[in-house]
């Protein structure tokens, strides 16, 4: 059974950085790209970036260029999303998700980030 | 970056009615388009992938069509459980952008 398990909720101050982990199980971690998606309160889904666990290539959305760092630890099948220079606009639920062919589609449980002074 | 535009923003319908949701891409995404349903406090649920293939367990009243830059999600007869927000997502060229969403509400 495929599972993506994310780290817990965080509270950060403006200007700080946050790092969310996403541990994958039940499938070959290297096989499918991993996406990061967020949703601010009352807003729509926002795609943040894509990560290839096999090789480590990343492609952030233009909005997050220079502020989004995507990495992985292949020994534990864990992906990491780090977002720097936080502002209150970054308050949101953050998800990792993996998509593959024939409807292969799994999401983590979500991580709430609150940015507040 | 590819931009997806969904319309309408809100659709007010009664149970049993047909819902037609539109998603337009700023450039061709071939058939690399998915549709999701989301309810408050939940992660999105995949309905349609590759523009027209129903995901596992999705009822036949949901169907997707289109290609290149124009896509449609149709719900033939709305059930009470279908009132939710729907998003399209394109997955081409190392991107995964979402449309702004269509909220289907009870009239």
The alpha-carbon gap from B49 to the nearest alpha carbon of chain A, in Å, equals 6
Identify which of B42, B39, B37, B41 has the alpha carbon closest to the alpha carbon of residue B61: B37
pLDDT digits (tens, 9 = 90+) for A7-52: 999 999 999 999 999 999 999 999 999 999 999 999 999 999 999 9
State the maximum Cα–Cα separation within chain B, in Å, rounded to a whole number: 39
What DSSP designation does A26 have?
S
Residues of B within 8 A of A62 (CB-CB) are 1
CB contact (8 A) between residue A59 and residue B94: yes
Closest to B104 measured CA to CA, from B68, B60, B69, B62:
B62
Question: At residue B32, what are phi and psi to the nearest 5 degrees?
Answer: -85, 60
| Touching A: B residues 24-83, CB under 8 Å | 34, 36, 38, 43-44, 46, 49, 53, 55-56
Among the partner-chain residues B43, B89, B91, the one whose CB lies closest to the CB of A95 is: B43
Per-residue burial over B54-86, b = 16 or more CB atoms within 10 Å of its CB, e = otherwise: bbeebeeebbbebeebebbbebeebeeebbbbb
Contacts of B44 in chain A (CB under 8 A): 45, 107
Contacts of B101 (CB under 8 A, 6+ apart): A44, A45, B6, B9, B38, B85, B86, B87
Q: Which of B46, B97, B98 sits opposite A103 (nearest CB)?
A: B46
Mean pLDDT of B80-95: 94
| Contact yes or no for A67/A85 (Cβ under 8 A) | yes
Q: What is the mean pLDDT of residues B54-68?
A: 97
Strands A111-115 and A10-12: parallel
Name the one residue in this structure whose structure tokens are 């047909």.
B18
> Residues of chain B with pLDDT > 90: what percent?
94
For residue B74, how far is the Cα from the chain centroid? 8
Q: What's the pLDDT tens digit per position in A57-115?
A: 999 999 999 999 999 998 999 999 999 999 999 999 999 999 988 889 999 999 999 99
CA distance A4 to chain B (A): 12
Query: Which residues of chain A does B39 touch, with a Cβ-Cβ cutoff of 8 Å?
Result: none
Contact A46 B98 (CB under 8 A): yes
Tokens of A46: 């926002």
A28 vs A30: CA distance, rounded Å? 5
């Amino acid at each position: 059974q495929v599972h993506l398990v994310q780290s817990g909720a965080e509270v950060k101050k403006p200007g700080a950085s946050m790092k969310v982990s996403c541990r994958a199980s039940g499938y070959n971690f290297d096989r499918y790209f991993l996406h990061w998606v967020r949703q601010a309160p009352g807003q729509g889904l926002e795609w943040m970036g894509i990560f290839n666990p096999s090789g480590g290539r990343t492609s952030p959305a233009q909005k997050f260029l220079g502020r989004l760092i995507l990495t992985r630890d292949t020994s534990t099948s864990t992906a990491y999303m780090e977002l720097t220079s936080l502002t209150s606009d970054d308050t949101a639920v953050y998800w990792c998700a993996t998509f593959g062919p024939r409807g292969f589609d799994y999401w983590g449980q979500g991580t709430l980030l609150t940015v507040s002074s | 970056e590819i931009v997806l535009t969904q319309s309408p923003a809100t659709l007010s319908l009664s149970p049993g009615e047909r819902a037609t949701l539109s998603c337009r891409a700023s450039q061709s995404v071939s058939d690399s388009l998915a549709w999701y349903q989301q309810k408050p406090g939940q992660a999105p649920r995949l309905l349609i992938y590759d523009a027209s293939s129903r995901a596992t367990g999705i009822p036949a009243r949901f169907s997707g069509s289109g290609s290149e830059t124009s896509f449609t999600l149709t719900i033939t007869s709305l059930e009470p459980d279908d009132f939710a927000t729907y998003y399209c997502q394109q997955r081409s060229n190392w991107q995964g952008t979402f449309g702004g969403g269509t909220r289907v509400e009870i009239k």
